[in-house]
Amino acid sequence: MHTAEKIRKLGFKRWYERALLEGHAYLVTCFLGMIVAIAGIEVVGGRQGLGQVLVGVAVGGLGVGVCLFSWQRYHRILILAEHLGAGATCGRCGHYARFGLIGSGGSDMDDPREQPQERGPIWLHVKCRECGNEWVI
């Protein structure tokens, strides 16, 4: 689901909370991947035969893969949350995250299938529920 759809469905504050939770879950997964990678190195270091070396390399590679993937997701989710959170305050009345979504576009950094360089960063056209001010985040 596109970030704009999630924000429309949940509201900005709940989306933001969930983005932070999801991002930090990926950070924890990254650390777990690091532990698995280190365990793989330990298995390779034991040198108890070719089979154990191959298992160690496979486990270590899996851990590195999980760690890199999770770090990338953590980084993308937090950059997106920070970008949208920084623009969520109404410039006229100063209310935070009290807006309705009018439109959106750009590449979705929250979706791993999309490449941010292809269509530019995500933008949201929003309207303040308090004063009617419109702006683009």
What minimum distance in Å lies between the beta carbon of 125 and Zn ion? 14
Q: How many residues form the binding site for Zn ion (CB under 5 A)?
A: 7
Listed residue (6, 39, 25) closest to 71, CA to CA:
25
Of the pair 44, 126, the CB lying nearest Zn ion is at 126
Task: Please spell the DSSP secondary structure of 68-112, one letter per residue.
Answer: HHHHHHHHHHHHHHHHHHHT-B-TTT--BS-EEEEEEESB-TT-T
What minimum distance in Å lies between the beta carbon of 129 and Zn ion? 8
User: Interface with Zn ion by CB under 5 A: which range of 7-15, 50-58, 79-87, 121-129?
Assistant: 121-129
- 130 binds Zn ion, rule: CB under 5 A: yes
- 102 binds Zn ion, rule: CB under 5 A: no
Instruction: Out of 4, 36, 109, 128, point to the residue binding Zn ion (CB under 5 A).
Output: 128
Distance separating alpha carbons of residues 104 and 79, to the nearest angstrom: 18
User: Interface with Zn ion by CB under 5 A: which range of 22-30, 40-48, 63-71, 84-92?
Assistant: 84-92
Assign 3-state DSSP to the chain and report helix, strand, coil percentages, each to 5.
60, 15, 25
Instruction: Out of 28, 38, 93, 136, point to the residue binding Zn ion (CB under 5 A).
Output: 93
